[in-house]
Each structure stands twice: as C-alpha cells, then as structure tokens.
Chain A
Amino acid sequence: MDRLKLVLQYFQSNSESISNGICIVLALISVKLYTSFDFNCPCIPQYNKLYALGVMFVPPLIFFFLGILVNRHTGVMMDEWLRPIGKRSKNPAIVKYMFSAMMQRALLAPMVWILVTLLDGKIFICAFSMSVDPKPFSGMPNNTGLDLIKLMAKVPCKEDMIFRNSTFRKAVSRYVRCYSQAIGWSILLFFILLGALGRLIKPCFDDHATNLQTRYWSNYLDIEQKLFDETCVLHCRDFARKCVVQFFEGMREDAVLRLPLSPEVRYRGEEDMVDEEEERLHGITKQEQMDQLLQTWFQCKPELDVTRMAYRPRVCVTWEDHNGQTLYSDV
C-alpha cells in the first residue's frame, strides 16, 4: 500500500509524467478498442472502401481530439496564448514549445490505432480486395453468375457461401494482408527513424540555453496555475468558514442580567484558554434563535463580506487601582 502511494506520488509530483501517463493510457485504450470492435465489412462494391477507410481514419481523429482534451497543458497553453500582456511580457517560444509537446502527445494514440489496423490487415483487405488482379490466383469460383467486381468485393467475408473452403479467397486475403503489414512496418520504421534522428541532430541546431529557459518557464506556468487553483480553494474555504461564523454571531442577542458585578469577572484575553464549548456555540443558545438562524440562512443569505471578522479589533484592557495607577495594560 505504501509502495503504491509512493508510485502515485511520483507520478503526481511531476506534471509532465502525468501527461505521459495519460498519453500511454489513451494508446492502450485505443488498442483495446480495436480488439473489441466487431469489424464488419459490408462486402458490397460501393461501400467497402468507404467503410474500411472510415474505420481506419475516423477513430484516430477522435483519439486525437481526446488527447488534446484530457491534457492539462492545453488549458495552460491557451491561457498563456490568449492573455493580455499586462505586467508580464509574452514569450512566443514558450507557447510554441507547449504546443509541440501537446501535439506530440496527442498524436500517439491515433498512430497506434493506424499501426494496429495495418498490422492486423482486416481493414486493408476490406478496402482493397477489389483492386487485386485475380489472374495469378487459382481456384476462382466461376459458376456464381456474379461479375468480377462483386466477386472480389466478397473476398473479405469468410462466411459467404460462394467462398466456403475456397483457397482462392484465402490466397487473395493473404496477399492483401501481406501488403498491409508491409506498409504498417514501414510506417513504424519511418517514425522511429524520424524520432531517433530528431533526438540526435536537434541539439546541433538548437540553442541549448534557450531551450532550458523555455522548458523552465513552461513548467513554471503549469505549476503557477495549479498553485493558483489550490490557493483559490483554500481561500474559498476560509472565506466560507468566516462568513458562516459571522452569520451565527450576527444572530446573537444582547443579554442583560441585572446582578451585582463581581470583581472576579475580567475580560478573557487571548492568553486564556478560551472555553471551547462557548466558542462553538457562537452565542446561539435558544431554540428560537436557532430557528430564526436557519430561516434567515435560507431567506436572506449574508452578504459576501467578512472584513468585520477578518479584522476584528482586539479589545485592549487597562486595569487601574482606585488611585488611578495602572496595574496592568494590554496596550
């Protein structure tokens, strides 16, 4: 349990690693979605390509937008981009850096989907089976009465009656799948090479010092916004507490009891242990008072002003003896 907490704390401590974590989770969701999706090729000439390419490209778009949405840095970047200059000058390099980081993260899940699609091959078969030239393949059923296009369009559908136990169908599928996987692996290799080259060559062209500065300040913006939100929440809590206590105390009534004053009574200064129970009662000690308080809470909420409570003056008492000499003073 402790170890789990440590791990969570580690991830939460660094906001970059949170974004990386979310990015990876999205990629995993993308794979899971592909495996659980029931791909259903229509096997009709007009619709095959449309359906297949739709399934190959629409989910990546969705994942891309989702990736931008769930990334915290999007908000930070938009704030920084759109804010008026005010007292703080704007540095466009920071916005550019954050934008590129956000884009890179958002593009991972779509790429994963496209790669998985290509490596699996079903979609390619569905889209391009009609473009295959059937001559090199033997065993084409020629007694069905369908024209060539329609026949080839039915290749992706295993259960179709004309293709029961047909080696032709299997051969064509294998051929198209092989193309699909080749394209998939090439794309993967291309991106890895691009990434590696970028990592290796970029420092030659970049000003490392400026880079460090940009990274620092973009991290700073992120942390600043988080702290601001936290401070707002803390402040909100204190404000609410004071407002509520002020409301309770505002409902107190003056109590006058006509009894001789005893010299033992003195003003309870801050040094004394304040009677906690009295404090928590806030002066509301009668049922009618409480009812009135609850009614007023709904009917007439107090104004949002706790200045009186926040700056409550401390009464300073001076004790003098009968000769006018000061014995003790709070001043």
Chain B
Amino acid sequence: MDKFRMMFQFLQSNQESFMNGICGIMALASAQLYSAFEFSCPCIPEYNYAYGIGLLVTPPIWFFLLGFVLNNNVSMLAEEWKRPTGKRVKDPTILRYMFVSITQRSLIAPMVWISVTLMDGKSFLCAFSVNLDIHQFGNSTLIDGMTEVEIVKLLAKIPCKNIFNQPEVISREAASRYIKCISQAFGWVFLLLMTLAAFMIRAIRPCFTQAAFLKTKYWSHYVDVERKLFDETCKEHAKTFAKVCIQQYFESISGDMRSFHKHRSSKDDSDDDDDDKKKSDEDKLLGIRDQDDMNKVLWNWHTCKPPLALRKEQLDGESHEGLIPNGDVHGVSGGPNGYANGHAPDLPKREWAAYYSKV
C-alpha cells in the first residue's frame, strides 16, 4: 500500500508538475530570449516608438499563444465545449474553470517578458526619448538656437550611445537614467499589481465558492482522466482486435492449406510439459509451417485482407459426429477431446450453440 501511495503521488505530482514545469520552462525561455536578443533602437524619430513598444508588446502575445499551443488541455477544453449534450449534461462552470486555469498558466511567460523588459529599461528609453522635456536636461542657451526638427532628431538619438554626437547640448546619461528610472518604476508597479491579482484570486477565493470549487475541480479532472482512459482502452482494443484478426486469418489460410496438405500433428500426447510447450509453439505457428504456405499468407494479406468481423469461437467445419447431445452434464470439463474452451487444432471443428446476451 505504501509503495502504491508513493507511486501514485509521483504520478499525480507528475501530471500537475508537468504542466507547471512547462510553464516554468517557458518563463525561463522568455528571460533567456530577452537577454540573447540584441536590442538595437533605430534612433530615428518616426520609428523609435513603434520599435520600442512593439518589442514590449509583441513577444508577450506570442508567448501567450505558444502557451495555449503547448498546453494539452486546450483540445480537451475545445472537445468538451463542442460536444452535443447527449446523455450527459454540460456544466459551464467546468468549462470556465478549465479555461481559467489554462489562461493562468499561459500568462506567466508574457508577464516575465514584460517585467524583464521594463526593468531593463532599453525599450522604454527607445520609445519615449523623443517625449523628454529637453529643458530639464539640456543647456538652455544652446537649445534655443535649434529648430524643432533638430531637437526631435537629437532626442531620438539619445538611446544610441555611439551616434549621439552633441553631449554639450543634453547630458545623455542624465536623460537615459531618468527614463530608465521611470521604466523600472512601471515594472515594479506592474509586478505588484500582478501579484496582488494572483493573491486575490488564490487566497481570497475560498471566501466565496469553496464547495462549488471542489466539485468543479473534480469533474474537470475527471474529463481529463476519462479522455486518457478512453484512448488507452481503444488502443488495447485495437491491439487485441488486430491480434485476433490476424490469428483468424492465419488459421483460415492454414485451414485451407491443411485440408489441402492433410497436416495432422499427432505427436503431442506424450508428456504434459512437452504437451504444453508444443501446444504453445503450435499455437504460435498457427498452422503455417511451410515456405509456400507462408508466401501465400503474405500475398493474400495484401491482395485480399480479411473483413473486420471477428468470428465467435470456431463456427465452420463439419458437423460433429460422436458427441451425443444428451444433456449429460458430465461434459463440464471435458468431453471426448478434453478441451473445454480454446481451439483444438488437430481435431475436426465442432459446432456449438452460443448465445451471448447483454442481459
């Protein structure tokens, strides 16, 4: 029981911690992408703002969508949303819960990008350097001698250290420090707001809807597990279906051949052990022991596949002679040939009556 519990904990923690792990990896990827990205402000009045704000806003959107793409539960949500009602009533709270949890996870990487961008300050500097009040940082006498256009061009060059060529008009460091400081303030406030929002949702929510929340959590987890189990059951079924289908195909071919070649293995009455071993080998061979037989099997498999309909036990063959249907119940385990169920490859096939019912 203890071992089971440990394994179970590992499995369960795997399911959730898998999604959390992906979430964390994406956040790290976002930070790493930012540091690897070579930010190069155009330093041209018309393009600065677009570049700066574009870099602040576009990658987060991309990460958000990527989060949806990488999350397995999105297809589950879509399926649950779109299915016809049928015999199972649809519960909108479950859909909401699934959507909210997917969105929460997808929002982490964009948040990391935005915080890192704001803390670093380069994109803010690039976007807003033209809006600076030049008199605060510059030499008024020199500034008055310049035209509007020249002033704007100069301000736009502030983010670029190497092309800024008029340090006597404006102190570039002071101006960039100022804008960076505003950017960092925005960054911290943004982080604080996000944390407060998360706090309100996680810590205060139990005040309102705890019982309903437990129900919703259970049933949304159920939908996920059910879907996985259905896939598993289908796979198992397909495997078994294929196995039995192929078995019957081999047998049908071997049946044809055997009546043609008159193969009869009569030597398996010796030992019990040998008996079992030979039986299993016999079973595995499915009656094909000959190159020509095998070639015919392979040829027919491509040219004439069997129908997708499994027969129930042995059905065809001659009618039985010798077994008297007298209702004698001693036939429980055995009858004349010693087999209660399972096929007897070396004996004429019997007819049975089989009645399967759902009741």
Contacts and interface: CB of A to CB of B under 8 A. Distances in A.
A241 B210 CA distance: 28
A254 B357 contact: yes
Interface in A221-260: 230, 232-234, 236-237, 239-241, 243-245, 248-250, 252, 254-260
Contacts of B6: 9
A162 to B, nearest CB: 10
Contacts of B192: 58, 61-62
Contacts of A75: 202, 206
Nearest to A277: B240
B88 interface: yes
A105 interface: no
Given A42-B178, A78-B207, A241-B229, A248 B237 contact: yes
Nearest to A44: B178
B184 interface: yes
A285 B237 CA distance: 9
Interface stretch (B55-63, B219-227, B253-261): B219-227
B159 to A, nearest CB: 14
Interface stretch (A47-55, A130-138, A169-177, A186-194): A47-55
Given A262-B320, A281-B241, 17 more contacts: A40-B180, A51-B185, A58-B188, A65-B196, A78-B206, A248-B237, A256-B355, A260-B353, A263-B331, A264-B334, A264-B339, A268-B341, A290-B237, A294-B234, A301-B86, A302-B88, A303-B88
Contact of A297 (B174, B181, B230, B241): B230
Residue of A38, A259, A284 contacting most chain B CB atoms (<10 Å): A259
B353 A240 contact: no
Nearest to A262: B352
Interface in A298-331: 298-304, 319-322, 327
A82 B210 contact: yes
Interface string A63-89: 001101100001100110011000000
B262 interface: no
Nearest to A241: B229
B76 interface: no
B329 interface: yes
Interface in A174-228: none
Interface in B167-203: 171, 173-174, 177-178, 180-181, 184-185, 188-189, 191-192, 195-196, 198-199, 202-203
B181 A79 contact: no
Nearest to B243: A277
B87 interface: yes
A287 interface: yes
B332 A266 contact: yes
A280 interface: yes
A178 B203 CA distance: 41
B8 A259 contact: no
Contacts of A58: 188-189, 191-192
A58 B190 CA distance: 11
A258 B353 contact: yes
Residue of B87, B173, B181, B241 contacting most chain A CB atoms (<10 Å): B181
B295 to A, nearest CB: 28
B41 interface: no
A278 B325 CA distance: 27
Closest 5 CB pairs of A and B: A300-B86, A263-B331, A287-B308, A240-B226, A285-B310
Interface of B: 5-6, 8-9, 12, 79, 83-84, 86-88, 119-121, 171, 173-174, 177-178, 180-181, 184-185, 188-189, 191-192, 195-196, 198-199, 202-203, 206-207, 210, 218, 221-222, 225-226, 229-230, 233-234, 236-237, 240-241, 243-244, 307-310, 312, 315, 320, 323, 325-332, 334-335, 339-341, 350-358
Contact of A245 (B120, B233, B309): B233
Contacts of B354: 255, 257, 259, 265
Given A38-B119, A62-B191, A79 B210 contact: yes
Contacts of B8: 230, 233-234
Residue of A44, A281, A285 contacting most chain B CB atoms (<10 Å): A285
Contact of A260 (B244, B325, B357): B325
Contacts of A258: 353
A47 B177 CA distance: 11
Nearest to A321: B329
B181 A261 contact: no
B229 A244 contact: yes
B120 A38 contact: yes
Interface string A264-285: 1110100000010100111111
A23 to B, nearest CB: 17
Contacts of B230: 244, 297
Residue of B79, B88, B243, B330 contacting most chain A CB atoms (<10 Å): B88
A98 interface: no
Contacts of A54: 185, 188
A233 B312 contact: no
A203 B14 CA distance: 42
B178 to A, nearest CB: 5
A230 B203 contact: no
Contacts of B225: 236-237, 240
A287 B237 CA distance: 12
B173 A160 contact: yes
A248 to B, nearest CB: 7
A108 interface: no
A265 B353 contact: yes
A259 B351 contact: yes
A256 B358 CA distance: 12
Given A40-B180, A236-B222, A299 B351 contact: no
A230 B218 CA distance: 11
B86 A299 contact: yes
A320 B177 CA distance: 100
